[in-house]
A = this chain, B = another copy of it.
Amino acid sequence: MYENMIVIDRQAPESLQMQIRRQLAICIVNRQFPLHEPLPSIRRLASDLKVSVTTVVRVYSALKRDGFVMSKRRSGYFVSPDALVDPGRAAVGKQRAGATEPARVDYARLFRGRSFDRERVVKPADLLVRYRYPFACGLIDPSLFPLARWRECVRDAADVVGVGNCATDFSETDDQILIEQLIQRVLAGRGIFARPDEVLVTVGGQQALYIAIRLLLAPGETIGVEDPGYPDAVAMARMEGINVQRLPVDDNGLILSDRLNRCKCLHVTPSHQFPTTVTMPPARRSRLLELTRQHGQFIIEHDCESGVSFNKTPPKALKNLDRWGNVIHVGSLSKSLLQGLRLGYLVADREFVREARALRRYMLRHPPVNNQRSAALFLQRGHYDRFVAKLTGIYSRRCDAMHESLERHFPGAAVKPEYGGGNVWLRLPEEVDAGILRELVEPDGVFLETGGFTFSDERSNRNHIRLGYSVIDEALIAEGIDRIARAVPKARGADSAPGNAPQGESLNGHRAN
Against B, the Cβ 8 Å flags (1 = close, 0 = not) of A7-40 are: 0000000000000000000110011111000000
Contact across chains for A147 and B170 when beta carbons are under 8 A apart: no
With most chain B CB atoms within 10 A of its CB, the pick from A3, A185, A235, A351 is: A351
CB distance from A220 to the nearest CB of B (A): 12
Bound-state Cα–Cα, A334 to B369, Å: 12
Q: How many copies does the complex hold?
A: 2
Contact across chains for B339 and A367 when beta carbons are under 8 A apart: no
A82 surroundings in chain B (CB, below 8 A): none
Segment with Cβ contacts to B, from A319-327, A411-419, A499-507: A319-327
Contact across chains for A4 and B115 when beta carbons are under 8 A apart: no
With most chain B CB atoms within 10 A of its CB, the pick from A96, A147, A150, A361 is: A361
A151 within 8 A of B: yes
Contact across chains for A163 and B102 when beta carbons are under 8 A apart: no
CB distance from A351 to the nearest CB of B (A): 4
Bound-state Cα–Cα, A198 to B22, Å: 23
Contact across chains for B168 and A232 when beta carbons are under 8 A apart: no
A116 surroundings in chain B (CB, below 8 A): 215, 355, 358-359, 361-362
Contact across chains for A172 and B351 when beta carbons are under 8 A apart: no
Contact across chains for B168 and A128 when beta carbons are under 8 A apart: yes
A62 within 8 A of B: no
Bound-state Cα–Cα, A165 to B147, Å: 13
A64 within 8 A of B: no
Bound-state Cα–Cα, A462 to B441, Å: 68
A365 within 8 A of B: yes
CB distance from A346 to the nearest CB of B (A): 13
Contact across chains for B341 and A166 when beta carbons are under 8 A apart: yes
Contact across chains for A204 and B355 when beta carbons are under 8 A apart: no
Against B, the Cβ 8 Å flags (1 = close, 0 = not) of A291-330 are: 0000000100000000000001110100000011110000
A5 within 8 A of B: yes
What residue in chain B is nearest A177 (Cβ atoms)? B34
Could you tell me which residues of chain A, from 152 to 207, have a CB within 8 Å of some CB in chain B? 154-155, 158, 160, 163-173, 180, 183-185, 188-191, 193, 195-197, 202-204, 206-207
CB distance from A159 to the nearest CB of B (A): 8
A383 within 8 A of B: no
A87 surroundings in chain B (CB, below 8 A): 195-197
Contact across chains for B125 and A168 when beta carbons are under 8 A apart: yes
Against B, the Cβ 8 Å flags (1 = close, 0 = not) of A354-398 are: 110111011111111111000000001000010000000000000
Segment with Cβ contacts to B, from A134-142, A244-252, A450-458, A476-484: A134-142
Contact across chains for B196 and A31 when beta carbons are under 8 A apart: yes
Bound-state Cα–Cα, A94 to B105, Å: 57
What residue in chain B is nearest A344 (Cβ atoms)? B364
A349 within 8 A of B: yes
A513 within 8 A of B: yes
Contact across chains for A358 and B512 when beta carbons are under 8 A apart: yes
CB distance from A460 to the nearest CB of B (A): 26
Contact across chains for A349 and B104 when beta carbons are under 8 A apart: yes
Contact across chains for A355 and B115 when beta carbons are under 8 A apart: yes
Contact across chains for A170 and B125 when beta carbons are under 8 A apart: yes
Bound-state Cα–Cα, A407 to B138, Å: 60
A32 surroundings in chain B (CB, below 8 A): 183-184, 188, 193
CB distance from A240 to the nearest CB of B (A): 10
A312 surroundings in chain B (CB, below 8 A): 3
Contact across chains for A351 and B111 when beta carbons are under 8 A apart: yes
What residue in chain B is nearest A88 (Cβ atoms)? B197
Contact across chains for A4 and B188 when beta carbons are under 8 A apart: yes
A283 surroundings in chain B (CB, below 8 A): none
Could you name 12 residue pairs across A and B whose Cβ atoms are closer than 8 Å? A4-B191, A5-B191, A30-B195, A31-B180, A34-B380, A88-B197, A122-B171, A122-B172, A154-B158, A167-B338, A203-B367, A206-B364
A-B pairs, 3 with minimum CB distance: A166-B340, A340-B369, A107-B351
